[in-house]
Amino acid sequence: MFCTHCGAQIPDSASFCVGCGAKIGAAGAPPAPAPPQGPGSQTGEFRGPSYRTPVPQAPIPQAPPPPPIIVPSSRTMTRCPWCSAQLDGTSTSCPQCGAALEMPVEIIPSGWEQLPGRHDMAKIQFGDSFCQIEGLYVPVADMNLAASDGVYFSHHVLLWKDTAVNITVMPMRGGWKRMFAGLPLVMTEAHGPGHIAFSHDAPGELIALPMRPGESVDVREHLFLTATTNVAYDWFSTHVWFTTQSGNETETHYPLGAFMDRFSAPQSPGLLLLHAAGNVFIRQLGPEQTILVKPTALVFKDPSVRMHLHFERPSGSYSTFNFFGSSWSNRYFWLRLVGPGRVAIQSVFAHIEGEARSMSNCSYASETQW
């Protein structure tokens, strides 16, 4: 028999429980087993979870997420349409030539590409220094020279400078030839620190040509504005000329000028600035591809581009090389450029001196009859 209060086993004849002392009235059944306490119990049937009042706890502070890592991809990179410098996608203008990157490249159907536009106050970096292009009609090259950088230029293009900028003379070779050709006998050289500005006495466009090591460019005379001191300067004869005769007097004319300037970067990169009248257009010539331009419209060309005179005249007139013919004034002067290489022209060109006079001789020239 079992106690109905504590469940202890007691003899059948007992009147009181030996475990708890409770009075025994009648024999009872053993108490039911305790229900299992949860799903992890090994015995009994699951009767549901036991609910307890949750104890409020302070929130655990969470560390802020790390910033995202931005890895530049090829899609975010862009290339300058003028100097081909590799730039990130956030740039609005090229720091090497100042070209505005958001302006589309304009190539007209004839194949000429217009010089990329530049914002007013466009900034160009070279070495530890900066050049700011100011103005649109007659642009000014305002340079902030560091102590380690310098530029050279012709004296007549100097607009203003800080008193701290030191100016010296850079002599040129071939003084007599340069004097007779109307070229400057000396170049002026300036070193920082300080500001110095250059300008030309005509409206037009300022052309920034970043020079990479090993690159060279041929420039028509009187278009040079300034260059950094690590850009080498030289000059050569154009070998493009013709002579006219009036009575016993013979005169030699040079449609391109007697000499052309050649700039190059032999060891380290540099910057070359040119000024052209009107608007500037660029064209890339393929191997042996030719084009005819007005001689005085040429701005610059690659050294690989060959050049010579070309004449056009109506058919039926005397040959160009018949020096005694009367049709010499009925002709058109051209400069034939032969690729491969890059050429640049300006929209403003000057009259060729002696173009309408009777010609007596000329350098190598080709000819076309209409």
Domain that residue 234 falls in: 92-369
Residue 328 falls inside a structural domain: yes
Closest listed residue to residue 309, CA positions, set 295, 330, 323? 295
* DSSP character string of 72-99: --TTTEEE-TTT--EEETT-SB-TTT--
| Among the listed residues 147, 146, 145, 123, the one whose alpha carbon sits nearest the alpha carbon of residue 133 | 123
357 is a domain residue: yes
Which of the pair, 370 or 123, is modelled with greater confidence? 123
Does 164 map to a domain?
yes
CATH classification of the domain holding 219: 3.60.160.10
CA of residue 41 relative to chain centroid, distance: 76
Q: Identify whether 21 is part of a domain.
A: no
Q: Which two tokens stand for residue 18?
A: 């030996």
Residues 117-169 have pLDDT tens digits of: 677 788 898 989 999 999 888 999 999 999 999 999 988 899 999 999 999 98
Pair of tokens at residue 47? 């009767």
The per-residue pLDDT for range 7-57, each reduced to its tens digit, is 677 777 777 776 677 777 644 445 555 555 555 445 445 555 555 566 666
Whether cis (ω within 30° of 0) applies to the bond prior to 49 is: no
Q: For the segment 291-332, what is each residue's pLDDT rounded down to a tens digit? A: 999 999 999 999 999 999 999 887 765 544 444 444 445 678
Residue 10 covered by a domain: no
User: Beta strand 224-228 with 150-153: parallel, antiparallel or unpaired?
Assistant: antiparallel
> For residue 101, is it within any domain?
yes
Residue 54 lies in a domain: no
- For residue 8, the tally of other CB atoms under 10 A from its CB is 13
Query: Total structural domains in the chain?
Result: 1
pLDDT greater than 90 at residue 283: yes
Residues 6+ apart with CB under 8 A from 218: 260, 261, 262, 300, 301, 302, 303, 305
Q: Is the pTM of this model over 0.75?
A: no
* Average pLDDT along the chain: 80
Looking at mean pLDDT, say which of 60-69, 97-106, 209-218 comes out highest. Answer: 209-218
288 vs 71 pLDDT, higher one: 288
The answer to whether 336 touches 256, Cβ cutoff 8 Å, is: no
6 assigned to some structural domain: no
